[in-house]
Amino acid sequence: MSRPLPVLAIILLVAVATRVVTFGNPTVILDDQFYLLVGDAMRDGAWPYVDIWDRKPFGLFLLFQGIAELGDGSIVAMQIVATLFAAATAFVIQRIARLFVADEPALLAALAYLIMLPLLGGQSAQSPLFYNLLVALAGWLLLSSAARPGAPLHRNALLAMLLCGLAMAIKPVALVEGAAFGLGFLWLLFRRDASLAKLAGTAAAMVAVALVPVLLSFAVYAGAGDEARDAYVYANFISIFQKEGLGASAKLAGLAFFLLFSLPLLVLAGVGLRSRLAKQGADVATRLLMLWLGAAVLGYLAVPHFFDHYALPMLVPLSVAAAFAFALPSGRLYAAALLLFCLLQGAITDLAGNRAARAEFDAVSERIDEARRGGCLYLADGPPWLYRSTDACTVTPYLFPDHLNLVVERNAVGVDPARELQRILAMRPAVVVTQDSEQAKHGPDTQRILLPALAREYRTIYRVPGDGPPMLATLRVWQRRDLAPPAP
């Protein structure tokens, strides 16, 4: 089992088995379909922040442009690429765990990562599926440097910081783990009696290398003119601080969600670390693993809002720590219990639910395409991929509905949402899509504009039942009244 190819084959098989039920379903999550929508539009010359607004880093959209090129804008292709990234990350976890334990518990740690992903929103193509690989590689460089005397620390440190810089270009919260890795490398250099001058020089070089991806993306926008540069700066560095919070109760609810679905892995990581410390004490590599785990938790807590996928970065060091538990005499029993828990949660086996969601999405898409009569579409709410599946023209750069809808976004998108909505309605889109069950989260200013306009100028021509697929339930398609209604 120590040979890498059989290990990789097992990991790849489990990666596919835990995700295959979602293949082709564009409604698994909202975010990745939007990223692919932007990446696909970039193939035709669209610029993030200018033509389509969002605050995610440019590296994420560049990644999804590549995915769109590779799969010609296919949802299935996107999910297959994400599966390969998940498998690659699990393989790196196995290699890290192998620094501490034997083959079997190291492999179980890798598989633990894969079976946990669906529980925390990682079953499709969320951004952590991609940057987790980069952070895991950086973590492997750090821990292998600690475990192997004579490792080239300076070179490994710079390579690890480049990886963290690329991760930050996908999701800025990777900064927290990157900073921990940087401190870890400086500690290793200090233990090798590096001078203060060399430590300072290495620290400066690490920071510079980590900033290269962000500086390159800024240079691209700065070279495109003042408008593009200002849009880039606002979206990437200003808007997030203008976003309102949902309050402490929302954060506590998110923490409770994480604890509920991650408790088995948390317990295994705790049992494993306790066993390791009892047997061998706090060796250098184990201390650095604990530093990494603490940084991952801090990164999760540092984000004021909660979504389930925000917890995905913690799965990497937690899975490595769980390898110590899998190495105990009861290790196989622990692994079986974790697998049973994940299967009972249901996401891994929900083939019927994903098929129903895909069929309903296709029905909504077909209805919209017929109803618009060649006109434009405005998604006041609903899956952003409807823009792509209908090939409809758009009337706003705010293609992710939440940016204009949610109360927390009203001061953080660079425009007044109410005025932007008035401008959109003045363009008289042929079809508008809303979702009844989401209205409680929407800003009252936009609702006071949208709902009377819909009642006056549009008619409902399709509605998904309230017991329909979660992302589509109560979705309502409105057609402008002067257009010929679609066939019954």
Confidence band (pLDDT; 50, 70, 90) for 260? confident
Q: In this structure, how many other beta carbons lie within 10 angstroms of the beta carbon of residue 369?
A: 18
Boundary-marking domain end, from 283, 314, 349: 349
Residue 73: partners with Cβ closer than 8 Å, 6 or more residues away: 36, 40, 43, 388
**396 domain-assigned:** yes
Nearest to 178 by CA among 211, 130, 219, 144: 211
Q: In this structure, how many other beta carbons lie within 10 angstroms of the beta carbon of residue 289?
A: 28
Are 57 and 114 in the same domain? yes
**487 domain-assigned:** no
Taking 90 as the threshold, does the pLDDT of residue 18 lie above it? yes
**58 domain-assigned:** yes
- Do the strands 377-379 and 475-480 form a parallel or antiparallel pair, or are they unpaired? unpaired
| Residues listed for the chain | 488
pLDDT at 238: 95
Are 183 and 172 in the same domain? yes
For 11, counting Cβ atoms within 10 Å of its Cβ (0-12 exposed, 13-18 middle, 19+ buried), the class is: buried
pLDDT at 247: 62
pLDDT at 272: 97
pLDDT at 245: 67
Are 125 and 141 in the same domain? yes
pLDDT at 251: 66
Model-wide pTM > 0.85: yes
Confidence band (pLDDT; 50, 70, 90) for 249? low
Are 374 and 447 in the same domain? yes
Residue predicted with more confidence, 251 or 274: 274
**192 domain-assigned:** yes
pLDDT at 246: 63
Strands of the sheet containing 377-379, edge to edge, are 377-379, 431-435, 475-480, 458-463
Are 23 and 64 in the same domain? yes
pLDDT at 408: 85
Are 387 and 255 in the same domain? no
Mean pLDDT, residues 144-151 taken together: 90
pLDDT at 301: 83
Are 388 and 424 in the same domain? yes
Residue 367: partners with Cβ closer than 8 Å, 6 or more residues away: 461, 462, 477, 486
Confidence band (pLDDT; 50, 70, 90) for 437? confident
pLDDT at 224: 96
State the Cα–Cα distance between residues 147 and 360, nearest whole angstrom.
52
End-to-end CA distance of the chain: 60
Mean pLDDT for the chain? 94
Are 29 and 44 in the same domain? yes
Tens of pLDDT, residues 380-418:
999 999 999 999 999 999 999 999 998 888 889 999 999
Taking 80 as the threshold, does the pLDDT of residue 257 lie above it? no
The number of distinct structural domains making up the chain is: 2
**486 domain-assigned:** no
Contact in structure between 313 and 177 (CB atoms under 8 Å)? yes
**442 domain-assigned:** yes
Tens of pLDDT, residues 320-365:
999 999 999 999 999 999 999 999 999 999 999 999 999 999 999 9
State the Cα–Cα distance between residues 371 and 62, nearest whole angstrom.
33
Mean pLDDT, residues 208-212 taken together: 97
Boundary-marking domain end, from 294, 328, 349: 349
To the nearest 10 degrees (0 to 180), the angle between helices 196-223 and 153-168 is 30
Are 220 and 294 in the same domain? yes
**27 domain-assigned:** yes
Domain span at residue 22 reads: 4-349
Taking 70 as the threshold, does the pLDDT of residue 48 lie above it? yes
Residue at token pair 């998604």: 379
Are 337 and 388 in the same domain? no
pLDDT at 310: 86
pLDDT at 326: 98
Mean pLDDT, residues 120-140 taken together: 97
**303 domain-assigned:** yes
Taking 70 as the threshold, does the pLDDT of residue 447 lie above it? yes
Are 345 and 357 in the same domain? no
Q: Return the exposure string of 63-99: e unless at least 16 CB atoms fall within 10 Å of the residue's CB, then b.
A: bbbebbeebebbbebbbbbbbebbbbbbbbbbbbbbb
State the Cα–Cα distance between residues 155 and 142, nearest whole angstrom.
11
Boundary-marking domain end, from 289, 320, 349: 349
Percent of the chain surpassing pLDDT 90? 85
Are 400 and 335 in the same domain? no
Taking 90 as the threshold, does the pLDDT of residue 95 lie above it? yes
